Chain A
């Protein structure tokens, strides 16, 4: 990179306006990006090197996410299903509670946790709190083996999307409380996947930014899950339309 940045050939520049043009294929509103981001975009449009670097950075980030959510097979082989799931939850800075115990095991902000959870090898996990973590649909591989999971909270998780909700059918016999509020990637298509959770009694769908008409969605959810109490705060149900 000490040599001059490789400039783009003219032909590529002409083609680049095809995909750097803003309004072609998506109808979402475009926010003006910040100054450093605009500088990066400008450089990426004119130099191959910068473009490749940005692509590598995003690929690296997604591969890191995949690695963190990978199946803890080694732990599972030596310590069993429950300890593997518990270790996964703690590694991702979540918390859990064993069945029959009232004590919660949490990880603090610096990533430290109490190793006492190893003492309870035979107890299954009953409640798992993964709020504000990077759990995604691959990470559910680690929790799937828990036959007694009753509560799952993924509040504010930025990687939880519709495909994550579609995998929750594996907990359909036991899951009673689910909290998916503040997840920016969940849409109505994923909420339709919750129809399989027969035992669900409490569902929290507050402040989901990608739900377009929350009032109607809440009514449809209540029809779909008749025995479930649905909490949906943080929506503006006023009748005035803006914009």
Chain B
């Protein structure tokens, strides 16, 4: 130990001695007419530089030889995931990190479950979480969706109790409690009335407004063709998705979850054939290893795991495709019904638009808009009609979509929006459930140890805290404990019974 310290001291003095010879390098300092004509570096300096380098490497070798160093003869990529993990969550968006946080919160003892979260994009450029409009509402027609939103709002109300890390800044979601306003024309007003009953029974605070009340409350709206409006009074609004994602990530990592940036390129699985009825058998798969490939590299790590959670959002279908499972040996294959769908969001500026009381307005024509900040900016978008889905290979924005599909309805609903200017736009993917546009939560029917938490079709962010807890209960306790979400399991896709959301949009 003393010998090493002496080495350190001599190296230090040597390096201090070496600073003075550097003046020789500058040729113009040695008087007029004296030019350095050599094109190679001075040999004298090389010797001293070499000496310094030798001292440095000697010091490093000595430190590595000591028993407390972590020198390993195998030089490995430090960003590789571990060789083994209990639960591998594929997808580092808000749903994936929420599941990781809840798994760590429920594990019971420190280090109980080893959780690895794999995310393919370290910059989150195409992740749906950060590209979303960030709204949360309870105005659904399906009871499970209302409960998920209520629980998530409750989580966000007490977010610092859940996600506060010791000695770190508290989480500030910048939650705007402005509520959602849904407008219905005569054709769909009855659906809205039925939905309100379900919402009130489930505990959501919503109120119905007639056109006259609507005009009185929001004088900037034009109530032409509006028969009924439903307005959320509490727990509705919008917030910052990136803050929520990072809060989950920070807390989960502080509790011991492991983050890895890499892409899942395949699985190693075991197949077993079981008899399910007389003379009928079925192949069941069990994942043994997950192959995670490092970004921009051909290196990959095969992570041995017990459970895989598919929270990959828009790429969930691709992930299940790697398992190559036909779901039914007798009848035709039902493909995994989640695919990416591109949606545009436009930022517009309107000087005379609605003020601080502007809610998240959703019109029956499919358009929506909400206030963004205090400077007269608004965020607007729309769902395209059924057969005009935009191309999902890139995230390019189509500005004609705004002019043709959004602006006329905007100006019709809010006359002040006739003169506005589009300042910015972006596109993001929905993990769209082509079957019934609602989440799929639960086990995969054929792959025994893959859990699915995807297919949210635009509602992933607002349901993420509640979904995380439900999935952690499913994985660690075997069953849903607090919220019964068995209606959202994969079973409905096999039996072809859609749980449709009867919302007016």
Asked if A20 is an interface residue, CB under 8 A from chain B, the answer is yes
Residue interface mask B345-372, A partner, CB < 8 A = 1: 0000000000111000000000000000
List B residues 456-504 near A (Cβ within 8 Å): none
Contact with B along A32-68 (1 / 0, CB 8 A): 0000000001001000000100110011001000000
Tell me, in angstroms, the Cα distance from A18 to B167 when the chains sit together. Answer: 12
Contacting pair B250 A193 (CB below 8 A): no
A199 is an interface residue with CB less than 8 A from chain B: no
Is B356 a contact partner of A19 (Cβ separation < 8 A)?
no
User: Are B374 and A193 neighbours in the complex by a CB distance under 8 Å?
Assistant: no
How far apart sit A223 and B161, CA to CA, in the bound complex (Å)?
35
Q: Is the CB of A192 within 8 A of B356?
A: yes
- B234 adjacent to A169 (CB under 8 Å): yes
A195 to chain B: closest CB distance in Å? 4
**Which of A209-227 touch B at CB < 8 Å?**
213, 216-217, 220-221, 223-224
Are B178 and A192 closer than 8 Å at their CB atoms? Answer: yes
What is the interface residue range for chain A against chain B?
A: 35 or more
Scoring A28, A54, A169 by chain B CB atoms within 10 A of each residue's CB, the highest score goes to A169
Stretch from A74-82, A104-112, A113-121, A158-166 contacting the other chain? A158-166
**A132 in contact (CB, < 8 A):** no
Is B253 part of the contact surface with A, judged by Cβ < 8 Å?
A: yes
Say if the beta carbon of B174 comes within 8 Å of chain A: yes
Enumerate chain A residues within 8 angstroms of B233, measured Cβ to Cβ. Answer: 169, 196
Q: Does A188 contact B (CB under 8 A)?
A: yes
Smallest CB gap from A195: residue in B: B357
* A187 and B174 form a contact (CB under 8 A): yes
For residues 1 through 33 of chain A, which have their beta carbon under 8 Å from a beta carbon of chain B? Answer: 15, 18-20, 24-26, 28
Quick check: is B268 within 8 A (CB to CB) of the other chain?
no
B167 lies within 8 A of A193 (CB)? no
Q: Which residue, A20, A26, A28, A187, has most C-beta atoms of chain B within 10 A?
A: A26
Cβ–Cβ contact B235 & A166, under 8 A: yes
Give the nearest-CB partner of B175 in chain A.
Answer: A189
Most buried by B among A20, A58, A163: A163
Chain A residues closer than 8 Å to B243, beta-carbon distance: 25
Which listed residue, A25, A51, A137, touches B250 by the CB 8 Å rule? A25
Question: Quick one: closest B residue to A216, CB to CB?
Answer: B374
Determine whether the beta carbon of A25 is less than 8 Å from that of B246.
yes
Residues of B within 8 A of A187 (CB): 172, 174
Q: Which of B165, B254, B256, B356 contacts A195 (CB 8 A)?
A: B356
Q: Contact check, B177 vs A165: say whether CB atoms are below 8 A apart.
A: yes
Q: Which residues of chain B from 187 to 240 have a CB within 8 Å of any chain A CB?
A: 205, 233-235, 237
Known contacts: A26-B169, A169-B205. The answer to whether A221 contacts B177 by CB under 8 A is no
Binary CB contact string for chain B from 365 to 403 against chain A (1 if under 8 A, 0 otherwise): 000000000100000000000000000000000000000
Cβ contact of B356, chosen from A41, A137, A166, A220, cutoff 8 A: A220
Contacts of A196 on B, CB cut-off 8 Å? 233
Is B166 in contact with chain A by the CB < 8 A criterion? yes
Q: Is the CB of A137 within 8 A of B178?
A: no
Query: Would you call A192 and B357 a contact (CB within 8 A)?
Result: yes
Contact with A along B412-432 (1 / 0, CB 8 A): 000000000000000000000
Q: With A18-B253, A19-B165, A41-B167 in contact, do A189 and B176 touch (Cβ < 8 Å)?
A: yes
Partner of A19, one of B157, B168, B357: B168
Cβ-closest chain B residue relative to A21: B168
Q: Which residues of A contact B246 (CB under 8 A)?
A: 25
Residues of B within 8 A of A18 (CB): 253-254
Contact of B167 with A189 in the complex, beta carbons under 8 Å: no
Chain B residues with CB under 8 A of A169: 205, 233-234
Which residues does chain B contribute within 8 Å of A26, judged by CB atoms? 168-169, 172
Q: Is A191 part of the contact surface with B, judged by Cβ < 8 Å? A: yes
CB-based nearest B residue for A10 = B70
User: Least Cβ distance of A237 to chain B in Å?
Assistant: 16
Chain B residues contacting A58 (CB-CB under 8 Å) are 164, 166
A178-213 interface bits toward B, Cβ cutoff 8 Å, 1 = contact, 0 = none? 000000000111111101100000000000000001
The reply to whether B254 and A221 contact each other, CB–CB distance below 8 Å, is: no
Q: How many Å lie between the Cα of A186 and that of B412 in the bound state?
A: 35
- In Å, the complex CA distance between A193 and B356 comes to 9
Q: Chain B contacts of A44 at CB under 8 A?
A: 166-167
**A59–B169 CA distance with the chains assembled, in angstroms:** 16
Distance in angstroms between the alpha carbons of A44 and B177 in the assembled complex: 37
Residues of B within 8 A of A224 (CB): 355-357
Residue of B nearest to A63 (CB): B161
Chain A residues, CB < 8 A from B168? 19-20, 26
What residues on A are CB-neighbors of B356 within 8 Å? 191-192, 195, 220-221, 223-224
Contact of B178 among A193, A217, A220 (CB under 8 A): A193
Is B234's CB under 8 angstroms from A54's CB? no
Contacts of A189 in B (CB 8 A): 174-178, 237
In angstroms, Cα B16 to Cα A130, docked, is: 67
The docked-state distance in angstroms from the alpha carbon of A163 to that of B176 is: 10
CB-nearest residue of chain B to A220: B356
Q: How far is the CA of A195 from the CA of B366 in the complex (A)?
A: 25
Residues of B within 8 A of A221 (CB): 356
User: Chain A: which residue is nearest B168 at the CB level?
Assistant: A19
B321 to chain A, nearest CB (A): 34
Give the CA-CA distance A162 to B247 in the complex, in Å: 19
Interface residues of A in 75-96 (CB under 8 A from B): none
The chain B residue sitting closest to A169, CB to CB, is B233
Q: Residue on B with the closest CB to A221?
A: B356
- Cβ A190 vs Cβ B254 within 8 A: no
CB-CB nearest 3 A-B residue pairs? A193-B177, A195-B357, A26-B169
- Could you list 10 A-B pairs, sorted by A, with CB under 8 Å? A15-B256, A19-B165, A19-B168, A20-B167, A25-B169, A28-B169, A192-B237, A192-B357, A195-B357, A221-B356
Besides A25-B250, A165-B177, A193-B177, 4 more A-B contacts (Cβ < 8 Å) are: A19-B253, A59-B161, A217-B374, A223-B355
